[in-house]
Amino acid sequence: MKRTAILILLLFAIVILVSCEENVSPKGELPEKYAINFILRGDTTFQIAYLSKLYDVEGYDPSTLKTDPAVSGATIYLKYSDSNEKYYLRDTVDNSNINTAYNTPAKYYYIKNFKPQFGKQIQLQAELPNNNKLSSSSTTPTGLVFDNTKSLSYIPGPLLGRDTTYASIYWNGVGLDVVKAKRVKIIYYYRELSGEKTRHEKLVPIKYSTDGITESIVYNDFSFQNELKIQRQLLTKALKEISDGYTSKGRFSLAYLEVEVLSFDENLTKYYSTNLFYDFGFTVRNYPSDLTNINGGLGFFGSYVSAKKILKFDSQYALNEFGYLTEK
């Protein structure tokens, strides 16, 4: 999780800096600008920010830069608007994560044990060693609450009145003006001959999409709606695939189905709506240099909150349909 977050931020920053550099004439004087990129994640307590300087290169190819533009020694903190308490990020050089663009240890800022609170305005402040200041703010989404009266309560669900096409999950507490990202995972165990059990996860496809030539699997659903409809046909297919190639189906035991929902803030929603990014890991597709919400510089600051719903598997369903056991 930590390594993935670091790689995402490094990619995020490189794309921004490359885009900025391409808009500056190599014959003109390069302005001194800095960029900070920070996505506050509601699904972890380990937060990472990346601070860098706008750079120039000889010619027109930004990839020829051999020096890491990351900036060290800055003071960066978070502060809720209704509080005076400041949460400072630590400066680090991480030898366990190599920035492959420059073949050097990753440089970033981090804070541990911090998870954004629901429905709060949070401010980002950064003061650089040269006294330049960068700032931004995000209003974190309100907490979403799953609607257990409308949502499926277990897999496959009650026989009476069962929707045979979809397994539907609903929630409240967040408006239809913000994007939600959803994905579904099967958590299961495999028991070795020795009796040792190992935990595994399998993503459930939301749908299959095609461009007319090739078909691709879509594991992540993005929409403004406060619901997720899981296709039962795809769920069944994923459950069967767990034991592909195994004859002893009874060595597999189903723990639960996990539905994860991320609710974006206004900043993330804005950029999603303009079709600039993402997959579920917030990978940048395209980030023009004129899109920034950082005062005094470039970059991006946003937040999202996370909620999970756990659905257990009916033991008879698991055994009769797939030959699997279930975890208590």
Q: Is the pLDDT of residue 23 over 50?
A: no
Instruction: Say if residue 96's pLDDT is above 90.
Output: no
pLDDT of residue 297: 92
Domain boundaries, the chain: 2-142+264-304, 145-261+309-326
Per-residue pLDDT, averaged over 165-176, amounts to: 93
> Who wins on pLDDT, 59 or 211?
211
Residue 2: the pLDDT is 55
Environment class of residue 319 by beta-carbon count within 10 Å: exposed (0-12), middle (13-18) or buried (19+)? middle
pLDDT-based confidence at 294, cuts 50/70/90? very high
pLDDT digits (tens, 9 = 90+) for 146-168: 999 999 999 999 887 889 999 99
Nearest to 3 by CA among 100, 85, 68: 100
Contact (CB, 8 A) for 100 and 108: no
In this predicted structure, the answer to whether residue 190 has a pLDDT above a threshold of 80 is: yes
Query: What pLDDT shows up at residue 275?
Result: 56
- Judged by DSSP in three states, 300 sits in strand
Residue 59 confidence (pLDDT) above 70:
no
pLDDT higher than 70, residue 221: yes
Residue 189 or 94, more confident: 189
pTM: 0.80
Determine which of 63-67, 232-236, 274-278, 292-296 has the lowest per-residue pLDDT on average.
274-278
Please report where in the chains the tokens 């406060």 appear, as a residue: 226
Higher pLDDT, 292 or 193: 193
* pLDDT (0 to 100) of residue 249: 96
Q: What is the pLDDT of residue 105?
A: 83
Return the sign of the alpha-carbon dihedral for residues 8, 124, 71, 20: positive
Q: Does 19 score more than 70 pLDDT? A: no
Kindly tell me the burial class for residue 266, based on how many C-beta atoms sit within 10 Å of its own C-beta (0-12, 13-18, 19 or more): middle
Q: Is the pLDDT of residue 314 over 70?
A: yes
Residues 106-126 as b or e (16 or more Cβ within 10 Å = b): bbbbbbeebebeeebebebbb
pLDDT digits (tens, 9 = 90+) for 107-148: 899 999 999 999 999 999 999 999 999 999 999 999 899 999
Q: How many CB atoms lie within 10 A of CB 167?
A: 25
Q: Which pLDDT score is estimated for 27? A: 42
Q: Which 3 state secondary structure label does DSSP give 292?
A: coil
Out of 11-20, 34-43, 232-241, 269-278, least confident range: 11-20
The backbone torsions φ and ψ at residue 187, rounded to the nearest 5 degrees and listed phi first, read -105, 125
Query: Can you say whether the dihedral through the CA atoms of 228, 305, 10, 24 is positive or negative?
Result: positive
pLDDT of residue 29: 55
Rounded CA separation 138/304 (Å): 10
